[in-house]
């Protein structure tokens, strides 16, 4: 089985946010940005079918979104998937920032970057609420891990 967890491309969450900002700035309009985000979702590692269940479901998302986390060597790695292409892309974007980071770095990285990159304004209210729910889930896991 291939590792379903996302491994970071950049050395820090801040570097990942900057790289995503650079990527998005290459596109002139939101349709092109959506295509790019959907493409990110297609590159997510395969999510195990038996994890696509209520135990892994992220509440508060209009689409179905599933996530799993595993601690390794003091860092948290996340796997995720959605049944909607654009939402899988948003999962990929979040995991590019947060997966493979320490709980402290995750908690120090405010999901306000989603607003700063203009992503929340470009999404429907329901999608915006959903990505906020995903970010909350990631931070909740980090809080539990740090306390654990």
Question: Which of the residues 37, 40, 44, 61 is marked catalytic?
Answer: 61
End-to-end CA separation in angstroms for the chain? 28
| Cβ-based burial of 122 (10 A; exposed 0-12, middle 13-18, buried ≥19) | middle
Cα distance between residue 50 and residue 35, in whole Å: 28
Annotated active-site residue 61? The verdict is yes
Question: Which residues are part of the catalytic machinery?
Answer: 61
């Amino acid at each position: 089985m291939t590792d379903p967890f996302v491994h970071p491309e950049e050395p820090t969450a801040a570097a990942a946010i900057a790289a995503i900002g650079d990527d998005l700035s290459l596109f002139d309009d939101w349709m092109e940005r959506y295509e790019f985000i959907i493409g990110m979702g297609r590159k997510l590692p395969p999510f195990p079918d038996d994890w696509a269940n209520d135990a892994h479901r992220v509440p508060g998302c209009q689409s179905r979104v599933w996530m799993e986390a595993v601690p390794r060597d003091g860092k948290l790695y996340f796997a995720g998937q959605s049944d909607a292409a654009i939402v899988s892309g948003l999962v990929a974007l979040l995991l590019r920032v947060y997966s493979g980071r320490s709980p402290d770095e995750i908690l120090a990285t405010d999901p306000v970057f989603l607003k700063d990159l203009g992503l929340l304004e470009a999404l429907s209210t329901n999608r915006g609420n959903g990505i906020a729910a995903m970010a909350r889930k990631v931070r909740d896991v980090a809080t539990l891990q740090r306390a654990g």
